[in-house]
Every structure is written in structure tokens, then in C-alpha cells.
Structure 1
Amino acid sequence: MFRFENPEYLNLLWLIPFIILLFIWLNNRKQKMLKDFADENLHRFIIPDHSNAKIKIKSVLLLIVLTLLILAAANPQVGTKLQEVRQTGIDVFICLDVSLSMSAEDIKPNRLEKAKFQISNLIQKLRGDRIGLVIFAGQAYIQFPLTTDYSAANLFLNAVDFNSVPQQGTAIASAINMAVEGFDTASTQKAVIIITDGEDHEGDIESAIENAVEKGIKIYTIGLGSPDGVPIPLYDERGNLRGFKTDNSGKTVLTKLNEQILKEIAGKGNGVYYRGNNYEDYLDKIYTDLAQLEKAEYGTKKVTDYESRYYYLLIPALILLLIEFFISERKSPFISRLNRKLGLEE
């Protein structure tokens, strides 16, 4: 198998046609200046040793050198053998509340965006551990299952918004059950991390926690929001604030952080509760603690062992650059004598 380790450098090859045009323009400009300076028949007397052919050769060599250096920087690699690698790590399911109350702005820019930002940061730090995401409001859905494809995980995370789950509510129990069902039978350390404001929670949370604990799954909770309550902003399609959510009587609805239920979930789930804020990343702290646990094997995968071959391009480039350096712009005396004998002009 063949690949470039740094394919982004190949974009520099688009510069080559422009450099060729630049060389042609400079050569034409130089010829025009010579013609303006003196008649073309006088050039052999004014600059008798000047060689246009050598200048063209030097230009071509420089273009080849530049091309080879760009290809070398991209680092061509050849797959030499296929290896089977054991995959070890821990499994983490994050349950993210996407109900409308998560749009409150007591956590900047709002509760949901803050949570997504911290999840994205966590994904970027993962090395071999599997992560999955359950989103919930009135119902729970798996946004993406346990995976080590962190790029895909980020893409699915970015797609999460308040419309991802149309039914409003806070179905924490359903989210826990769905996360528990999403774990496979691998003997890894498993944890569920719930990020929510805990308001208007629904379902039989007690049995959901018991089911998780029986399977050796720890449950951590992160509460986002203010216990005092803040209004829920409503924006139009252009992002302009058009007011705040009201109840049937026209009073402004306040969303409050329910710390009590989140503390109970974490306590019974053998985890820890953290109250989120604008400054600390408790999701990262939880994962750091989990990462200290012994990692277990959850599978194997075949990977290709690649070896770099950039020097196949770098060495010829250096040789050609050296040759170009020693080529002068003066006519070769031998070629000049040969041309005179044959009655030719260089």
C-alpha cells in the first residue's frame, strides 16, 4: 500500500504552473529589455558569453527540485506489513440534555454549547478509549455509539442542537438505560456521565441506576445552571433575541438547576456530582480520574506498518540542486568552438 503521510503539502504543487509562467514572463521581459537597449544583431558582441540555453536548463532544474522537495515534504510511505494490534481502554457514554432549558445563558454562551465545547475537548484528548453519546429531552436517542473514530464523533456532536429531540422534558432514566444497553460485553471499565440541569426529570431513575450498578457501571453527573433560576431566551432564525419563554398565564418561565436529584444519581451510581461553571472543565476532570483505572482489551484491529520513502525524492533533489549551482550562465567554450566549426549559432 502507498500513501502520503502529510498530503496537505501536495497542495503546494499548484504553485508550479504559476512559477513556470513567472519564469517565462521574466525571460520575455529580459529579452525585451535587451532589444530596447541594443539591436538584436549586436547582442553577440555586447554579451558574447551569454547562454539562453543554460538559463532555461537551470530554470527547469529548479522546477524539478521544487517539485521533488514538495513531494518529499508530503513523505511518501509504503506499507510493508499488516499487524494485528490489541485495542485497550475504557468505555464512556455521555448523556447530554438537549431540552430547551439548556439554552439558558447562566453558563456562557449557554448550557448546551458549553457542554458541547467540553465534550469536543475531551474527544480531542482521547487515545484508544471508546466514547459514545446519548442525547435526551423528553426521549433519549443514541447520537453515536461507542467508537474510537474521534473525527466522526466530533461531526455528530456538532450536529446536536435543541431540535435534535423534538419532545420536551428531561428523560434522565431513559438516557441511563440507553447508555447501559449501548455498552458491549467487553470487560472494560465503564462509566456514564450525565450533563444536564436536572429539571423536570422523568422516568424510574431508581431502577435505571440499580441496573447500571449491577453491571459495574459508574454514573457521574455534571449540573449546569443556577439553582436560583434564570429565564429561557427565545431567538429568531437570524439569531436575534425576541423574548423569553412564558407559561400559559404569560409569566416568564425560570429554569433552575436541580442539584438534589443529580447528587442522588451520582451517589447511588458510585460516581461523583460536579456543579459546572464558566471556568472549570469537570468533564475533563472526570475522565482524568477514569483514565487512572486499569485499561482492558476490548478488541483487535489490523493496521498497516508504513515506512517512509521521502529520501528517494530528497536525495535526487539535492543532487540536481548541486548540479544547477555549478552550471554557469556563460557559453561553454567547447560548444562555442564546435558551433563555429559547424557554422552554427548557440
Structure 2
Amino acid sequence: MSLAGFSAPWWFLLLLVVAAVVVGYVLAQRARRKRTMRFSNLALLEKVAPRAQGWPRHVPAALLIVSLLLLTVALAGPTAEQKVPRNRATVMLVIDVSLSMEATDVKPSRLKAAQDAATQFAQGLTPGINLGLVSFAGTATVLVAPTTERQSVVNAIGNLKLAQSTATGEGIYAALQAISGFSAVVGGAQGPPPARIVLMSDGKQTVPEDLYAPRGAFTAAGEAKKEHVPISTISFGTSHGTVVIAGREVPVDVDDGSLQEVARLSGGDFYRAGSAEQLKEVYSDLGEQIGYEIKKADASRPWVVLGTLSLIAAAGGALFLGQRLP
């Protein structure tokens, strides 16, 4: 047992008292046996002394010792890791609305599947999370600033419209700006709440073509790293998606590589979703990671309950077996 798992381990010094009680009980039993053996008339002793109860007479004392041990552990403040809802955090949901999202390789379409999954994600987030929404194609727009009010985000997701080009870097910069503005308002004495960007895209950046350009995705990811805002990227779609542009069928394969690099550069995680079901699973996992945190919580209650029950059993056993308390 590690003392690191207890909030007040110095209470374990009471174990010395418990040990003293055990030693005292053993010595008392030996002294009693010696006094009995000194009785000169053994025949008379057998008639007047109560019949020996054997080992059961030690049960109340044993239960008392167990109770003291359990209550000592409870006083030491045992802790356990528990998953608890976050009471403050900021999440910006950044969704690609370029024309490639019209592809139907994911039924009924990439955009519709993305809307359904994002809506489920927004509705499932814990109440303490401030959620905002950014859409991007050739430019980026902050549709909803971070808020705990979910319906505005859900409505905005449902009204997403497709546009030309893919400026992934602009989407990231817009999210960072929204986070910065929100943090400046709600920071307070505790400082700004932890933030994260969830970026979902199905294609490679086209504006600008250079990902390392000043407004490129990789440059934006590096800026997110500096501001301690990890980006969780979701690559959504398949390798056989196509859309019709100006009467011509154009392949719109997903670009896993660039999204993996964005996640790596920002200190975030990369996810791959090739179907609507997989996308919902990814969002569900992200909801668990973002909405909850592992904290050390008090775990003394079971020890108190067991210790109290043992004490009651010790008292009951003593009264039943010896007509007196131990």
C-alpha cells in the first residue's frame, strides 16, 4: 500500500495504539490463565467457574481490532481516481465546408454525416464546457463564440453551407482568435480555462497551397502549440470520393498525412473516420476525453462503513457471548 494514495497518512500512527491493544489483550488472557491455575481446589473451581467458551470468546475482541484498523485507514484519507465532469474548458469545433464535403462516398453525404455527428457531439458535452463553432472553406467564419448554451451551436451546425476551396490554416487561426478573446473575458484569478480545437476535414489545404505559408495549416498548428491549444484532427471520408464541379467529376480523396501533421505539431491527436458510424465513435471518444477529467477523490466512506459495522458486531458478540462489552 502506497502512502501517496492517502491525504492524511499520519493517522497511520494510530496503528501503534491498535498494536498496543492487541498486546494488552494477549497479556490479559495470559494473566487470567495464571490466576486460574493458582486456584487450590480444582474440583471446586470446575463447579463454580463458568464453562470455558473456547475460541469464540475471542471473536468480539478480534472484531474490535478489525474495526480499529478499518477506522484508522478511513482517518488516513484514502483516495481513488474518479472520472468527474470538467467545470471549465473551451472547445472550438472547426468544420470543413469545402465542396468536397458534397461527396456521397459516406451516406447520405459527407456534409450530412458530419452535421449529424457534430450535433451529437455538441449535445453530449458536459455542461461546464464552453463550445464554439468555426466553418471554413476558402475563408473561415466564427459562427458561434464559445458558450455553454448548446442550442445555438446545434442550429449553426444544421445551417452549414458549402463553398469553394479549403483554407485549413484560416480555420485554425479563427478558432485560436475566438479562444483568445473568450479567455481574456473569463480568465479571472484561476487564469484562462484549458482549450482545445477539434478540426474535421476531408481534403487537403488548397489556400494557400504551401502548408508552411504564414497562413498555412502547419504554421497555424505551430501557433496553437505556442498557445497551449492542442488540435484533435479528424480525417473524414474515403479514398474513392468524387464530386461534380462544372459538369466534371473530380476525385476528392482524404488527406490523412497533413491532418496527422497538424495534430502532431500542435500536440494533439489524429483520428481517422471512413464512415458515419466511425465519425460518431470518434466524436464520442473526444467527448469523453474533453468533457471529463481524472481526479483524486475521497474514498474513505467504504472504510468507515466497514469499520462501524465491525464495531457493532464486536459489541453484539460481546454481549451475546460474555454478557458484557469487550
Deviation at 1:294, TM superposition (A): 7.0
Deviation at 1:113, TM superposition (A): 1.1
Aligned residue type for 2:225: V
CA RMSD of aligned residues (A): 2.0
Kept after mapping to 2: 8 A contact 1:231/1:245:
no
In 2, the alpha carbon distance for the partners of 1:216 and 1:170 equals 25
Report SS of the residue matched to 2:277. Answer: coil
Q: Deviations over 1:304-333 (max 9, x none)?
A: xxxxxxxxxxxxxxxxxxxxxxxxxxxxxx
In the other structure, the counterpart of 2:250 is: 253
In the other structure, the counterpart of 1:213 is: 225
**What is the TM-score with the length of structure 1 in the denominator?**
0.52
Deviation at 1:112, TM superposition (A): 1.1
In the other structure, the counterpart of 2:276 is: 278
In the other structure, the counterpart of 1:198 is: 203
CA distance change for structure 1 residues 262 and 116 in 2, over 3 Å: closer, same or farther? same
In 2, the alpha carbon distance for the partners of 1:286 and 1:171 equals 24
Within 5 Å, give how 1:79-228 maps onto structure 2.
88-126=87-125, 127-162=127-162, 166=163, 168-183=164-179, 184-185=182-183, 186=187, 187-203=192-208, 204-227=216-239
In 1, the alpha carbon distance for the partners of 2:242 and 2:124 equals 34
Report SS of the residue matched to 1:194. Answer: strand
In 1, the alpha carbon distance for the partners of 2:231 and 2:173 equals 12
Report SS of the residue matched to 1:257. Answer: coil
Kept after mapping to 1: 8 A contact 2:124/2:287:
no
Report SS of the residue matched to 1:252. Answer: strand
In 2, the alpha carbon distance for the partners of 1:202 and 1:152 equals 29
Aligned length: 190
In the other structure, the counterpart of 1:264 is: 261
Q: Deviations over 1:46-102 (max 9, x none)?
A: xxxxxxxxxxxxxxxxxxxxxxxxxxxxxxxxxxxxxxxxx9321110110111100
Give structure 1 stretches of 5+ with no counterpart: 1-86, 233-243, 296-346
Report SS of the residue matched to 1:88. Answer: coil
CA distance change for structure 1 residues 198 and 294 in 2, over 3 Å: closer, same or farther? farther
More helix as a share of residues: 2
Within 5 Å, give how 1:292-307 maps onto structure 2.
292-293=292-293
Deviation at 1:132, TM superposition (A): 0.5
Give structure 2 stretches of 5+ with no counterpart: 1-85, 209-215, 296-326
CA distance change for structure 1 residues 91 and 294 in 2, over 3 Å: closer, same or farther? farther
Deviation at 1:198, TM superposition (A): 2.5
CA distance change for structure 1 residues 182 and 123 in 2, over 3 Å: closer, same or farther? same
Q: Deviations over 1:143-169 (max 9, x none)?
A: 11101111222222211122xxx4x11
In 2, the alpha carbon distance for the partners of 1:114 and 1:201 equals 23
In 2, the alpha carbon distance for the partners of 1:208 and 1:131 equals 20
In 2, the alpha carbon distance for the partners of 1:135 and 1:224 equals 15
CA distance change for structure 1 residues 89 and 294 in 2, over 3 Å: closer, same or farther? farther
In 2, the alpha carbon distance for the partners of 1:138 and 1:294 equals 39
Aligned residue type for 2:117: Q
Aligned residue type for 1:201: T
Report SS of the residue matched to 1:217. Answer: coil
In 2, the alpha carbon distance for the partners of 1:253 and 1:119 equals 26
